[in-house]
Amino acid sequence: MEYNLVLLYTSLAIGILTLISVLKRANGWFFTIKFNSKKFNLPPGDMGWPLVGNMLFFLQSFKDGNLGSFFSYYVTRFGKGGMYKTFMFGKPSIIMTKVEISRKIFMDDENYDRGMPNYILKILGQAQVGGFTREESKSLHRMTTLIKSDISLLSNYFDFAKEIVKKSFEKLVDMEEPIDVLLAIKRPAFDVLMRILIGDGVDNDMVNVLFEETIYLFHGCHGLPFNIPGSAYNRGLKARRAMAKIYQYILDERKVMIGKNKTREKSNILLEMMLNTQDDDDEGFNDEKIIAMLVSYTFAGFESVALVASTAIMYLENHPHFLDKAKVINESLRIATAKTIFFREARNTININGYTIPKGWKFLSFSWNYHMDPRTYVRPKEFNPSRWDDLKTKPASFLPFGVGPKMCPGANLARLEVSVILHYFLLNYRVEQVNPESKIEPPRSCLVKFKKI
């Protein structure tokens, strides 16, 4: 009897291990068979599990703050070629770990599209409007660059940003209870962004709703893309719809104002800049695309700015000898954006580095491979603005906002926002860490009290 039980359990264990082994290889077999022809020559790699690919491994590494372990798996197992096949974000993909390969793809606007996952495009509203053309993307770049290059607009920007940041910090000083430093910086970062996007004079209740819904939108974009009631993604879709209604209301109000003035005056407000591209035949940015871009800018320019600014604040508090360094923002951007992912998609079958990649496959580039590369940045996990005094980086090895024709159009705005927040904070405030022994990574709930100096 005991012998039979041992045999049963042994057979069961062998069966389970065999099933797991088959499932683990099933995705790889499927794509090997599908693209097993002389037409394609795919790089080595691991396609992971059916449906989810290697997303579970990636998400765990991302959550632990150690993406290096994810990439080292590919490099150790498949060599240092710099290109590896995988299945991530619901699509067959190529991971790029060498900066030279990423730069080649980023700079090629003819053969590669943006490649953002469809579920993110949908939650941001870009899928519904068919995305943005090359000319529209160039126009957006010009608008955001104008804010930074025009002296009069820049002066006006610093004036209102200073007032917003000042009021926010004063409220933080009056708080008796400690607060998460990232959470504390989110509101002034958001308020400054709203002033750039839609201007002042907007009802405070509307702005508060936009702030709350943007939080849900952010969690929806970073959660699993399952549109079921109660899921973060489902709530994110509802948040976008709520934000779109508010932005449409504001847009309609601006149209009425422009109609009364009968002129389209120069503006430093992004909504009005986009609105001014419309003519009597509705050429230029239509309402749907303006709203989609406002939602996208709100998503991209809010959390990222707060993360970079709060990272800089905490590192500077723990390394006060760096306060006089001019490259603090670059070093903060390098560390805070190390988990950024850049997407591209092959418009056609592509030949690159000896491989032939099918049309529609994604190309994934991760800032971690460049911002945390010890060959470029000595002791990369250390905060050291001094490294920028004489650092000669490899081409594209510093990618906080991407590179090439499709570089983030809000890059100039983000840098400017971070500059204003840090400028006013360093001149007037300091933070006191509640637990000096805790890690100073803002995403991991670093509690502080704000002090005026």
As annotated, the binding site for heme includes 408
In the annotated binding site, the residues are 408
Alpha helices (H) in 262-356, listed in sequence order = 270-275, 287-300, 303-318, 328-336
Bridge pairing between strands 429-433 and 112-113: unpaired
Handedness of CA 208, 213, 214, 216 (dihedral sign): positive
- HSE (CB half, 13 Å, CA atoms) of 157? 29
Rounded CA separation 447/182 (Å): 9
Q: Is 363 exposed, middle or buried (CB count within 10 Å of its CB: 0-12, 13-18, 19+)? A: buried
Among 444, 440, 448, 410, smallest CA distance to 189 is for 410
For residue 340, the 8-state DSSP code is -
Strand order in the sheet with 179-180: 179-180, 447-452, 429-433
Among 293, 309, 372, 315, smallest CA distance to 340 is for 372
Q: Would you state the structure tokens that stand for residue 343, as one six-digit string?
A: 């997407």
195 sits in which H/E element: helix 181-198
Rounded CA separation 214/222 (Å): 12
Amino acid, res. 358? P
Bridge pairing between strands 91-96 and 362-366: parallel
Among 315, 291, 263, 270, smallest CA distance to 409 is for 270
Q: Answer for the pair 178, 449: CB distance below 8 angstroms, yes or no.
A: yes
| Helix, coil or strand: residue 176 | coil
CB atoms within 10 A of CB 338: 21
